[in-house]
Structure 1
Amino acid sequence: MSKVNNFLENKVMPVAAKVAGQRHLQALRDGLILTMPLLIIGSLFLVIRWLPWFGDPERQYMITNEFLQNILNYPYDATFNTMALVAAFGIAYRLAESYKVDGLTAGAVSLVTFLMVTPFKTVFTLADNSTVDVGGVIPTALTGSGGLFVAIIVALLSTEIYRFVVQKDIIIKMPDGVPPSVSKSFVALIPGFVVIIIFWLLRIGIEQTDFQSVHNIVRDLLQQPISKLSGTLVGMLVVVFLVEVLWTTGLHGASIVGGVMSPIWLQAAAENAAAMQAGKEVPHIFTGQFYEIFVHVGGSGATLALVFAMVLFAKSQQLKQLGRLSIGPGIFNINEPITFGMPIVMNPVMMIPFILTPMAIVISTWLGMEFFGVAKPNGAVPPWTTPIFLGGFLATGKISSIVMQLVNFAIAFAIYFPFMKAYDKTLVKQENDAKNNAA
């Protein structure tokens, strides 16, 4: 372990420090952190809304009252479904600050630009299962994590254009007697106009293609290769790799990949259930429950083990406190506080175990189910928020799944621990430097 730590500290960390110090990566990190308190608040309501119920096999969730379900969704919708909006503002604000131009205005321009490239329409399903397109509606699917990658692109590009125009002094200057707030608003006129015009023309151009929107470009170009994957070990490894890589760039990998793979996994689960009812051996290992219950314990990246490592062994105040705040949601497989708060997104150190850990768990679980008698998913569909061990038992009906999840947790802990310690050591130094400077 000491050799691994030395390698990370002497070889990986210096390179990572240079990468992390890059202006745009810093803006991404600091801008996404702005979403953290909102996600933590939303996570609490999400956990309550989807608390599992185990007394009756016909009943999945503790809260079944429709009124309570609806009102518990309000805080979740208001936090998770506005993540891209908050990020569009926060990233642009921090990037503009690094260029020493007005961050507040740059953030506002970025937010408006993101909304401008987002189509204001959505599809509603009627009682007769027919659908209708409704215009003038901002789709929350694109203002939440599903639109985050577009928000990042817009924030970086719009701010670069904005600061370029400002630094070229192509602005309206007011007399000295004008209040600063009024003067700044006039300074923003020309650069803001240039940004809006460029993205307006970009949207018009894209609408003349089959893609129709920037969001569709991201969705289609990423989903088409994924659609060729099937329920094989290699396919599952590719799926999980893509999910984690997308998350490390700020894109909701589980949503994008899951949308394509869900039909394949649902069919596999149905065939497993039919085999169970017929008293036959279940044919499939790779179902949605394999993915949700065994691989992504704690959320994408299998971060529950990381949370426990932070709580038990972190020295920096940042990781200790973040671990305490994240352990509750993490038990119910909600890890946005870790993903965006640590952050793992665009973090060159923590991206490595975030990708490697779930891939190692895929292999270990496949080996256990294929060769060592671990029960395969039986077609039951426990909620994705079901905690570790209980979720494994419900998905298979066998104690062997609990043992498998315990082994997977140990694997995840062993992979995450040295990277967490190396990152923690850097944060401790930063905190000590900050204290010394303050003194």
Structure 2
Amino acid sequence: MTKLTAFLEKYLLPFADIFSKNRYLVAIKDSFLISLPFTIFSSLFTAIANIPFLSSLFGEEKVAQFQTFVSPTFSLTMGVISLIVATGIGYSLSHHYKVNQIYGALVGLLSFIMITPTTTVTESGEKVVNILPLSEIGAVGMFSAIIMSILATEIYRYAIQHNWTIKMPSSVPKLVSDSFFSFIPIAVALLAAFAIRMIFEATSFETVNNLIYQLLQKPLTSLGTSLPATIIVGILVNLFWFFGLHGHVIVGSVMVPIWNAQSFDNLTAFQAGKELPHLVTGQFTDFFVLNGGYLSIPVLTSLLFFFKKRSEWNDLGKIALAPGIFGVYEPLIFGLPVMLNPILFIPLVATPIITTSISYVAMATGLVPFTTGVALPYTMPLVISGAIVTNSISGAILQLLLLVLLTFMWYVFLKVLDGQKTQIEKESMSHE
């Protein structure tokens, strides 16, 4: 173990140091740290609203009413995460450049809103105008928010540093003076965002979000459901998470219809008592490949039991415990953070490789039955879900084995991260 951690420290820490000094990556990481209270709040209510077997206790109708009642706790926090991220990036970059942080944050936010479509089409085909669709400002809009906030803040600070400003006499109140001082830089940044909006509206893509989606849709659709394809999809999901983007939403929006079609085939065969035709289904990817519990439980186990002396990790583990049991791991992604952390990049990407490979082989060789197509909420805890979706105790054993392997892997890399933090703390104390 010591040799392994020493090897990782030797080759990972220099890269991590370079990575941590990039102002854009720092700004993105800062923005997600700013969003952390909102994502924890959202995660707790998501877990509560999706507690497994709740419907068997209170009835499906009452549970559905409760979920509708608490839905704003998600839709107006995590559901508008792109707005929070755009604001946070503008704030962080403005702080870096030593320009007005409030105006920088608002420039980042409004520039993203400027390129966001203000119309939507209802299920009945009716076009609704002058609205801001939640579907565009949640996880789907994250990439656009990051790009536009960085671009707008850069334009804003460039204009200020080149004196494209209106300076008022010293007798004018500071708030008024700051407003006039920032007028031209803000105007230039917002006009640039408006120009981008007009350019995209003149194309077949219509919006920046549509361009990103269509660039992803075709290659993802062509992947299929083989073992290599499923591994690639898993890597892509966690790769997006590394950059703070909701990988499940981005990739899943394309792949879920394909996986669900195969789930329906398996369910039909299972009900008819026939051989199950598909290995890769929605339940396979949900509970054996991409389940949040494969990250949250190993990381929480490590934070709470193996790193008790690092109080901030222990406190985070306690806060993230309830959502983590039900596979909600945003508090760990943004709070530890796993996002934009080069030391944790390897276990993050390796997790779906391990889960996919082992699960696929176990089912292909007959050690574990194929998933039956029986639908479960994604918040169903691991081990329980494995037994139900495969109709076999061997499904639960497979999930338990994966959790043990992943806990060991995450512990090793968290040990390296702990060593890095300890070294930084020692250097900081020596300079005081």
Cα deviation 1:208-264 (Å, max 9, x = unaligned): 111101111111111211011212101101111111112212222111211111221
- In the alignment, which residue of structure 2 is the partner of 1:308? 301
Q: Distance in 1 between matches of 2:360 and 2:390?
A: 14
Q: Which residue of 2 aligns with 1:9?
A: 9
Aligned partners of 1:434 and 1:412: how far apart in 2? 33
Mapped pair 1:27 → 2:27: yes
* Residue 197 in structure 1 maps to residue 191 in structure 2: yes
**Contact map agreement 1:50 1:63 (CA 8 A) in 2:** no
1:174-185 aligned at under 5 Å gives the runs: 174-185=168-179
Amino acid at match of 2:302: A
Question: Which letter maps to 1:200?
Answer: F
Give 1:152 deviation, angstroms.
Answer: 0.9
1:371 paired to 2:369: no
5+ residue gaps, structure 1, are none
Greater helix share, 1 or 2? 2
CA contact 1:88–1:107 (8 Å) conserved in 2 = yes
> Structure 2: which amino acid aligns with 1:209?
T
Q: 1:326-383: per-residue Cα shift (whole Å, max 9, x none)?
A: 1211111111111122222222121221111111110011111112521210110111
2:171 equivalent to 1:171: no
Q: 2:303·2:313 contact (CA, 8 Å) conserved in 1?
A: yes
1:298 and 1:408 map into 2 onto residues whose CA distance is 13
Q: Residue by residue, what CA displacement relative to the aligned partner does 1:30-55 show, whole Å, maximum 9, x if unpaired?
A: 11111111111111111111111178
Alignment of 1:227 onto 2:221: yes
Shift of 1:66: 4.2
- Give the direction of change, closer, same or farther, for the CA distance of 1:179–1:425 in structure 2 (3 Å limit): farther
The amino acid that maps onto 2:44 is L
Give 1:297 shift: 3.3
> Secondary structure at the residue paired with 1:64?
helix
2:240–2:247 contact (8 Å) kept in structure 1: yes
Structure 2 residue 137 is the aligned partner of structure 1 residue 137: no
Partner of 1:327: 321
Match of 1:43? 43
Counterpart of 1:52? 52
Match of 1:90 in 2: 88
The whole-number CA distance in structure 2 between the counterparts of 1:116 and 1:319 is 38
Q: Indicate conservation of the 8 Å contact 1:316/1:427, yes or no.
A: no
Superposed CA offset, 1:271-329 (max 9, x none): 11122122222121111111111123335x73321121122122433322222211211
Aligned amino acid, residue 99 of structure 1: Y
Distance 2:7 2:176 in 1: 54
- The answer to whether the Cα contact below 8 Å between 2:54 and 2:63 also exists between their aligned partners in 1 is no
Q: TM-score, normalised by structure 2?
A: 0.95
Deviation at 1:162, TM superposition (A): 0.8
Q: Which amino acid aligns with 1:15?
A: F
* Per-residue Cα deviation, 1:108-151 (whole angstroms, up to 9, x for no partner): 111111111000112222xxxx3222111111112112211111
Offset of residue 436 of structure 1 = 7.2
1:44 aligned partner, one-letter code:
L
Q: What corresponds to 1:109 in structure 2?
A: 107
Whole-angstrom CA distance in 1 between matches of 2:336 and 2:50: 25
Out of 378, 383, 390, the position equivalent to 2:384 is 390
Match of 1:338 among 319, 332, 335: 332
AA at the equivalent of 1:45: F
Supply the AA of the counterpart residue of 1:345.
Answer: M
Paired residue for 1:155?
Answer: 149
Q: CA deviation at 1:104?
A: 1.0
Q: What TM-score comes out, normalization by structure 1 length? A: 0.93
C-alpha displacement at 1:428, in angstroms? 3.5
Whole-angstrom distance in 2 between the partners of 1:116 and 1:347: 31
Counterpart Cα distance in 1 of 2:350 and 2:31 = 26
Matching residue's letter, 1:48: I
Does 2:247 match 1:253?
yes
Q: Distance in 2 between matches of 1:60 and 1:226?
A: 40
Matched length: 431
Q: Is the Cα–Cα contact under 8 Å of residues 285 and 291 in structure 2 kept in the other structure?
A: no
Question: What's the offset of the Cα at 1:430?
Answer: 4.1
> Which residue does the alignment assign to 2:118?
120
Secondary structure of 2:126's counterpart equals strand
Deviations 1:55-85 (A, max 9, x none): 85xx998773443222211211221112111
The answer to whether the aligner puts 1:278 opposite 2:276 as a matched pair is no
Kept after mapping to 2: 8 A contact 1:53/1:61: no
- On the 8 A contact 1:322/1:341 being kept in 2, the answer is yes
Q: Which is further off, 163-172 or 271-280? A: 271-280
Query: Aligned equivalents of 2:60 and 2:344: distance in 1?
Result: 35
Per-residue deviation, 1:22:
1.4
